[in-house]
Amino acid sequence: MTASVDAERTVTLTVNGVPREATVPVRRLLSDALRHDLGLTGTHVGCEHGVCGACTVLVDGAPVRSCLVLAVQVEGAEVRTVEGLAHDDHQGGQVLHPVQEAFRECHALQCGFCTPGFLMTIAAGLENRDASAELTEEEVEEMVGGNLCRCTGYANIKKAVRHAAAAMKDAE
Amino acid sequence: MKPSAFRYADPRSLEEALEVLSAEGEGAKVLAGGQSLLPLLSMRLAAPATLVDINRVPGLDAVETGEGGVRVGALVRHARLLEDAAAARVQPLLARATANVAHPAIRNRGTTVGSIAHADPSGEMTSVLALTGGSVTVATPAGVETVGWQDLFVGPLETSVHGPAVVTSAFFPALPARSGTAFAEIARRKGDYAVCGAGVVVTLDEDRRVSAARAAYISVGLVPEVHDLTEAVAGQPVDTADWAGAGALARTLVDPDADIHASADYRRLLVGVLTERTLIEAAAEAAGRTAA
Amino acid sequence: MTTKVFGEPVRRREDARLITGKGRYLDDIGSTATLAAAFVRSPHAHARILDIDVTGALDVEGLVAIYTYEDLTGPLAEPLPVLIPHPQLTAPRTGFPLANGEVNHVGEPVVMVVATDRYLAEDAAERILVTYEELPPVVGVDAAREARHAVHAEIPDNVAARHHQETGDVEPALAAAKNTLSFTQYIERSACMPMEGKGVHARWDAADSSLRVYTSTQASTSVRAAIAAKLELSLDKVEVIAPDVGGGFGVKIVHPWPEELLVPMAAIALQAEVKWAEDRREHFVSSAHERQQRQEITVGYDDEGRITALDVHIWHDNGAYTPYGIIVPIVTATQLVGPYVIPVYRVIVESVFTNTVIVTPYRGAGRPQGCFAMERTMDRIADALGLDRAVVRERNLIQPDQFPYDHHLTFQDGRPVIYDSGDYPGLMAKLKKLVGWEEAEQLRADAGARGRMLGVGMALYVEGTGPGPYEGGHVQVLGSGKVLVSTGLTSQGQGHETAFAQIVATELGVPIEDIEVTTGDTRRFGYAVGTFASRAAVMSGNAIALAARGVRAKALRIAADVLEVDPGDLEIDEGVVQVKGTPGASIPLRTVAVLSNPLRYAFDEAARQATQFAGPADDTRPPVAEGDAPGLEHVDYYSPVRSTFASGAHAAIVEIDPATWEIDVVKYAVVHDCGNIVNPMIVEGQVQGGVAQGVGGALYERMAYDSAGQLQNASFMDFLMPYSSEIPDVVIDHQETPSPLNPLGLKGAGEAGVIPGTAAIASAIEDAVGRRITAMPISPTQLYDLMRDQDTERTAAAARRAGTGAMA
């Protein structure tokens, strides 16, 4: 069998738990496919060379820069974006993720452009750790250290990580 | 900043991959983690006609650790290698260097072998391959061959691997007995490409005297080089060896370049400082692994 | 629910949408059917355009249109406006929307391509061949000053403006001074670098002959006026909206950017939605930079360190063009004096052209440079006299009883620099305590024992904020009880929706939950100046407060009629108008809103309820009284007589590794005074963010041009905007000296955090290493060069510390 060499492909994937499909030129970046083909504009594009982290989404649970992945590469994958962080409260409203609550409580955002990238990397970091363990400053730095923010000076973002971790510990 | 048009294939076997690479010819490029390639595509500094994505090729995602060393498959992400305790035991430089690779989101996607095949002298893993005396396995339509690190790196972003070929793994020999390692970088921002980095291996004899000291550097020189610093410390007791002398020797051996982040002289300064610091750390580890 | 929320750390109402991905930024607007623009930009710093050959692009699939200068007509073919002319700006120059025969910096737009998506637009742009004849480039302030080559041939000295102010005869004053010292120093280019680049989306409604433009701007009303003028449209057929804006910091106050004209032009020509979203590389080479200056300073002072005369000559790199006039040079010239008494002051700023990206305000807008000049002068005086740097500053401070304090200078708004209020000794006392100034020698010794060099530095500033000419506010109470608030001024993350809602809730006595705030939308408010110069809270805040007071007065008048009491006996609380001290004698504000309109169709419950209050009509009077208007709403404007002056003091402690010359800021202390505070959480956020930019500007960020005018670090990989790992913890203390100039007693807070960073950190590094720091920013490789250069000046303090130096 010979692999097919294509200029365009139909990609099927799961985004925030919902099966989605898009037909895209194979050069389409995942960031663009999410934003423009699937209409999920919560994921932002800040540099398109993998440095700023604004476009960070979770692919099969792990934070990745969606500007450094082609849409065709996530065929069959589960992608989670900022639109999928909160969950339905089954009463017509939404229950925010602890990190979303913490960002609002700690004033961890100003213009909000970098925020989705931070939320995704922090959400993954907090969900993938033992919530009952004491949060270390190294862990905080690991969760926020790869994303750029021009507004906040980061202090309140780090505060929000601690705040969210405490909330998740209490919820244990 | 959008990539030029290309065609795309994601073969399901190595044979298929080589077939596509052969059919597509010179304009074809292998895509693995893509963390260095995608920025080049988006900036249109590279415009391959075809990308051959090997992410769906089975059998390339294993870290195989044996007494002789660690074999890292082409699809092993930095993050995966970083967490591999067995690999870290056999060759501690792997985890130590990998921890310095960019930021977690990049490490989740980027591959160790890909960064070696990318042959960036600012990359950590090229130097680790050199320092450990490692090699890569290259699959071509003609068969599989092993290429030692000396023959692999030809220039900045250039290897001796040409034509239809897939680097399927990298092999890092085990740390020898009575040896210790250390790795350190100085970067302008944490997670950036290093202004200068150093990896070292120190080996002692049975009397805890230094029998070998070798170093490789990051962002120094056009291709990875291993510098033998043994002469500065040979035969000296591990606790009192002249590590500063070894650092001074290292400064005379390197030929760094200047860029907007550092002058050549400053890099040379850092080579000396990082050499001394890492040698002290590595020597302490070697001493701990050498019966008194 | 609460209404008395002025001064409270109310959580931001903006956040609900921004943390759930529901923000609407420029590139979120449109659909897959929206056409995309991309630009061919000059690869040369200075060149003549000989030919543009588009034939290679014509067969690109999805290509819709290509525009060059030849396609521009009418006012669009003229140079872009000089927004703020000034008599001393004798040789202003601006570019054209698309280059007209000559390019003057790398990145200048030459051709616009429109295609069905951005990928294809870039494909077409790549295939357009432009032939250039290269001209010699002028790069950097010194090259401009030497003027071996000219940026604009008809301006051979490269001088756009020679800005000059003086408060006395400086030469005799210097001659009479007990001591003088002179020095030259440099500060380099950085940039605003918001996380979202610029962007424009335009939609033409052919049936209605109207244009709607979304743009990521700090000044939507002015963009609207510019588009109407340049595209020859009636103002009422153009609406401009600033959607959620991903940071500005100054770069988005410039208008019209070429793209703000070209994208609407294409939308009209193509009868289609067209969008341009600037990418990061474009932002580096075609938006604006700031900060580069060469500063020559001579100061006269007495033996106690009191300044008697100050003479400053600055060369300011304004880049290729001067669309924003000489605002930055004026700000440097007038804000340089800071919190100090300067008996005689002369300043000359020569604003010079270079073949690099234009220079327009970046947060601080010339103040960081002025602060660098003044504060480093203080450090030099202290060093020469062997005095504590804090003591020298204290001896020169304007005292609290000297307000209003007239510097006899003319500010950026053309008004006198008269400080309205402040307590600078108070700032100083708080700062010394906060940073531990008196314990510095102990810290130095402790660090020395760890093999580290420690230094401490401080810098003070006074910042003119909230300049006019005006902003307006509109407040309207609906029959539903909802309160609509709008102002034309825009938002880029400063939390205006929250702060303005706090002001209205407090002024009007309504629950903050009932208030909806709209900013930067010309459909809602047509007159505005924009968000810059730390003016939003001062200007729109006060305008909205006045508008709310107008609504309140009308509501009380109507309610008093209904309740048959005197308006003075009424109060509004929790959205209910009630007779003070008489429970039950009340009427909901929403009902007053219904009553305010004599046309009262019973569409809803509110209108039905209102009828019970409707008194018998007086047949002798019109339903709407003369001078009155239907509706419970009010528009008002705030126009200040002059700016209000905020102030602050920062200190930094640095540790340096003498082996690698890495520089760590280990402590950063801020004392901040912006008068009354609407929302302390937001103000602290502004300070924190500003400090991070200050640290970035001092230690990391530098636009690295080579001698050919190529920007060598036009990416986030090489332009070192700090991550969290590079930003120190910041400790903040507040002082509040309200402004007597405006109803709410506010002073601006947006820019303050960034201003003293470079000066304070330079001082701290100099203190640590004992070598004179004369250029900022400084990196480890530069510090290494400085330390091993035998010619580097040693500080007298270092010599004294080493016990080797006599008194200077």
pLDDT digits (tens, 9 = 90+) for A8-52: 999 999 999 999 999 999 999 999 999 999 999 999 999 999 999
Of C15, C249, C693, the CB nearest to A109: C15
Decide if B81 contacts B98 (C-beta within 8 A): yes
Q: What is the pLDDT of residue C583?
A: 82
Q: Does C20 touch chain A (CB under 8 A)?
A: yes
**Which chain B residues have a beta carbon less than 8 Å from that of C698?**
none
C78-111 residue pLDDT tens:
999 999 999 999 999 999 999 999 999 999 999 9
Q: Does A44 touch chain B (CB under 8 A)?
A: no
Give DSSP secondary structure letters for C202-232. EEEETTTTEEEEEE--S-HHHHHHHHHHHTT
Quote the CATH superfamily of domain C33-135+193-286.
Aldehyde oxidase/xanthine dehydrogenase, a/b hammerhead (3.90.1170.50)
| Three-state DSSP class for residue A79 | strand
DSSP class of residue C12 equals: P
Tokens read off for C260: 């703000």
Instruction: Identify the CA nearest to A4 among candidates B9, B5, B52, B27.
Output: B9
Comparing C33-135+193-286 with C293-398+422-466+643-802, is the CATH topology the same? Answer: no
Decide if C95 contacts C321 (C-beta within 8 A): yes
Helices and strands in chain C: count of H runs, count of E runs: 20, 29
C550-579 residue pLDDT tens:
999 999 999 999 999 999 999 999 999 999
C49-79 residue pLDDT tens:
999 999 999 999 999 999 999 999 999 999 9
| Three-state DSSP class for residue C771 | strand
Q: What is the pLDDT of residue C2?
A: 58
**Helix H segments across A17-154?**
30-32, 98-105, 115-127, 137-144
**pLDDT score of C139 more than 70:** yes
Band (C1; pLDDT cuts 50, 70, 90):
very low
Q: What is the pLDDT of residue C215?
A: 98
**Angle at CA of residue B6, ends B4 and B7, nearest 5°:** 165
The sign of the torsion formed by the CA atoms of B93, B95, B99, B101 equals: positive
In the block, tokens 């001078």 appear at: C627
Residue of B nearest to A1 (CA): B16
Decide if C227 contacts C201 (C-beta within 8 A): no
**Cross-strand pairs, C202:** C213, C274
**Cross-strand pairs, C586:** C578
At C500, which helix (H) or strand (E)?
helix C496-508
Q: Mean per-residue pLDDT for C316-327? A: 97
Architecture of domain C468-638: 2-Layer Sandwich (3.30)
Looking at the complex, report in whole angstroms how far the Cα of residue B41 sits from the nearest Cα belonging to chain C.
12
Sheet with B226-228: strands ordered across? B179-186, B196-204, B210-218, B226-228
**pLDDT score of C466 more than 70:** yes
Alpha-carbon gap, residue C640 to B84, rounded angstroms:
66
C780/B266 touch (CB, cutoff 8 Å), yes or no: yes
**pLDDT score of C584 more than 90:** no
Q: Does C780 touch chain B (CB under 8 A)?
A: yes
Alpha-carbon gap, residue B164 to B12, rounded angstroms:
16
DSSP class of residue C13 equals: S
Decide if C494 contacts C679 (C-beta within 8 A): no
**Angle at CA of residue B140, ends B134 and B142, nearest 5°:** 120
Q: In terms of C-beta density within 10 A (0-12 exposed, 13-18 middle, 19 or more buried), how is residue B268 classed?
A: buried
A104-153 residue pLDDT tens:
999 999 999 999 999 999 999 999 999 999 999 999 999 999 999 999 99
At C144, which helix (H) or strand (E)?
helix C141-146
Q: Mean per-residue pLDDT for B169-185? A: 97
Alpha-carbon gap, residue C81 to C254, rounded angstroms:
11
Decide if C81 contacts C57 (C-beta within 8 A): no
Q: What is the pLDDT of residue A91?
A: 87
Alpha carbon of C326 to those of C87, C204, C335, C366, C540: distances in Å? 10, 35, 14, 10, 25
Band (C798; pLDDT cuts 50, 70, 90):
very high
Count the Cβ atoms, other than its own, within 10 Å of residue B235: 11
A41/C193 touch (CB, cutoff 8 Å), yes or no: no
A-proximal residues of C, 114-133, CB under 8 Å: 117, 119
Alpha-carbon gap, residue C397 to C420, rounded angstroms:
15
Alpha carbon of B48 to those of B7, B13, B35, C227, C737: distances in Å? 9, 21, 16, 41, 63
Alpha-carbon gap, residue B130 to B148, rounded angstroms:
9
B42-87 residue pLDDT tens:
999 999 999 999 999 999 999 999 999 999 999 999 999 999 999 9
Q: What is the pLDDT of residue B292?
A: 65
Alpha-carbon gap, residue A18 to A116, rounded angstroms:
19
Full 3-state SS string of chain B? CCCCCCEEECCCCHHHHHHHHHHHHHHEEEECCCCCHHHHHHCCCCCCCEEEEHHHCCCCCCEEEECCEEEEECCCEHHHHHCCHHHHHHCCHHHHHHCCCCCHHHHCCCEHHHHHHHCCCCCHHHHHHHHCCCEEEEEECCEEEEEEHHHHEEECCEECCCCCCEEEEEEEECCCCCEEEEEEEECCCCCCCCCEEEEEEEEECCCCEEEEEEEEEECCCCCCCEEECHHHHCCCECCCCCHHHHHHHHHHHCCCCCECCECHHHHHHHHHHHHHHHHHHHHHHHHHCCCC
Q: Does B45 touch chain C (CB under 8 A)?
A: no
Q: In terms of C-beta density within 10 A (0-12 exposed, 13-18 middle, 19 or more buried), how is residue C743 classed?
A: middle
Band (C619; pLDDT cuts 50, 70, 90):
confident
At C175, which helix (H) or strand (E)?
helix C170-176
C19/A100 touch (CB, cutoff 8 Å), yes or no: yes
The region that residue B79 occupies, defined by phi over 0 for left and psi between -120 and 50 for alpha, beta otherwise, is alpha
What chains are in contact with C, requiring at least 3 Cβ pairs below 8 Å?
A, B
B-proximal residues of C, 617-676, CB under 8 Å: 659-662
Band (C484; pLDDT cuts 50, 70, 90):
very high
Q: Mean per-residue pLDDT for A89-103? A: 93
Alpha-carbon gap, residue C124 to C671, rounded angstroms:
53
| Three-state DSSP class for residue C284 | helix
**pLDDT score of C355 more than 70:** yes
C779/B5 touch (CB, cutoff 8 Å), yes or no: no
Looking at the complex, report in whole angstroms how far the Cα of residue A162 sits from the nearest Cα belonging to chain C.
15
**Which chain B residues have a beta carbon less than 8 Å from that of C778?**
none
What chains are in contact with B, requiring at least 3 Cβ pairs below 8 Å?
A, C
Q: What is the pLDDT of residue C612?
A: 64
Scored b (16 or more CB within 10 A) or e, C389-402 reads bbebbebbbbeeee
**Helix H segments across C231-366?**
258-270, 280-286, 327-335
Tokens read off for C546: 């006045």
In the block, tokens 């900013």 appear at: C519
Count the Cβ atoms, other than its own, within 10 Å of residue A142: 15
Weakest-pLDDT range from A109-123, B147-161, C590-604: C590-604
Q: Mean per-residue pLDDT for C668-697? A: 97
Q: Mean per-residue pLDDT for A76-100? A: 94
Of B8, B42, B50, the CB nearest to A49: B42
C213-241 residue pLDDT tens:
999 999 999 999 999 999 999 999 999 99
Percent of chain C with pLDDT over 90: 93
Q: Mean per-residue pLDDT for B260-281? A: 98
Please report the domains of chain B, with CATH numbers, ordered by start residue: 7-56 (3.30.43.10), 63-173 (3.30.465.10), 179-288 (3.30.390.50)
Alpha-carbon gap, residue B6 to B47, rounded angstroms:
8
Q: What is the pLDDT of residue C807?
A: 42
Instruction: Identify the CA nearest to B128 among candidates B62, B274, B226, B36.
Output: B226
| B-C contacts (CB, under 8 Å) | 63
Give DSSP secondary structure letters for C352-406. EE-SS--B---TTTTHHHHHHHHHHHHHHHHHHHT--HHHHHHHHBPPGGG-SEE
Q: Does B47 touch chain A (CB under 8 A)?
A: no
Q: Does A98 touch chain C (CB under 8 A)?
A: no
In the block, tokens 């304004």 appear at: C318
Q: Mean per-residue pLDDT for C319-328? A: 96
C233-269 residue pLDDT tens:
999 999 999 999 999 999 999 999 999 999 999 999 9
**pLDDT score of C805 more than 50:** no
In the block, tokens 């433009």 appear at: C213
Q: Does B193 touch chain C (CB under 8 A)?
A: yes
Q: Does A149 touch chain C (CB under 8 A)?
A: yes
**Angle at CA of residue C65, ends C61 and C71, nearest 5°:** 155
Q: Does C61 touch chain A (CB under 8 A)?
A: no
Domain residue spans of chain C: 33-135+193-286, 293-398+422-466+643-802, 468-638
Decide if B176 contacts B93 (C-beta within 8 A): no
Looking at the complex, report in whole angstroms how far the Cα of residue B261 sits from the nearest Cα belonging to chain C.
7
Query: What fold characterizes domain C293-398+422-466+643-802?
Result: Aldehyde Oxidoreductase; domain 4 (3.30.365)
Decide if C362 contacts C200 (C-beta within 8 A): no
Strands C663-673 and B158-159: unpaired
Band (C808; pLDDT cuts 50, 70, 90):
very low
Please report the domains of chain A, with CATH numbers, ordered by start residue: 8-84 (3.10.20.30), 87-170 (1.10.150.120)
Of C20, C195, C692, the CB nearest to A114: C195
**Angle at CA of residue C684, ends C682 and C689, nearest 5°:** 95
Residue of B nearest to C787 (CA): B266
**pLDDT score of C603 more than 80:** no
At C605, which helix (H) or strand (E)?
helix C605-610
Alpha-carbon gap, residue B192 to C328, rounded angstroms:
33
